[in-house]
Amino acid sequence: MNSLLNSLQKAKTLLQNINLNLTIVDDNSDKTIIKKINLLLSRWKIVPNIINLNKNEFDDKIINEGNPETFGNLASLLKCFLIAKNETEDLIFFVEDDYLHKDTLIE
């Protein structure tokens, strides 16, 4: 996540006329992880919109084949699509937090 925040911060500096926001869809992270994320965000002075994923919201939309990990991934993806559908911004960029990103990612 640090590399993503680094890229976001660099983009905010270079692209000052563009409104950049960070929305996090949290899949019921452990409280320890949430504390670490909040600490990291505060260091970068980034205030995200954090949305807690309620997987039950998609019980009637996703065929549950008995694999909770697959169901969770699909629920997360569907939540992201719904967020994008209701957004009014020109560009929405989805990224997972468990990858390393170049600092030029958002440029």
In a domain, 75, yes or no: yes
Q: Looking at the domain assignment, is residue 97 inside a domain?
A: no
Whether 78 is in a domain gets the answer yes
- Its domain, for residue 30, covers 2-86
**Cα angle, residue 44 at apex, residues 43 and 46 outer, rounded to 5°:** 115
Give domain status of residue 104, yes or no: no
Overall number of domains in the chain: 1
pLDDT over 80 at 106, yes or no: no
Q: What is the pLDDT of residue 7?
A: 86
Share of the chain above pLDDT 70, in %: 97
pLDDT, one tens digit per residue, over 43-95 is 888 888 889 999 999 999 998 888 888 898 899 999 999 999 998 777 788 88
Note whether residue 60 is domain-resident.
yes
Answer whether residue 92 is part of any domain. no
Q: Is the model's pLDDT at 9 over the cut of 70?
A: yes
What is the C-alpha to C-alpha distance for residues 76 and 73, in angstroms, rounded to an integer? 5
Q: What is the pLDDT of residue 99?
A: 67
Tell me the whole-structure pTM to 2 decimals.
0.79
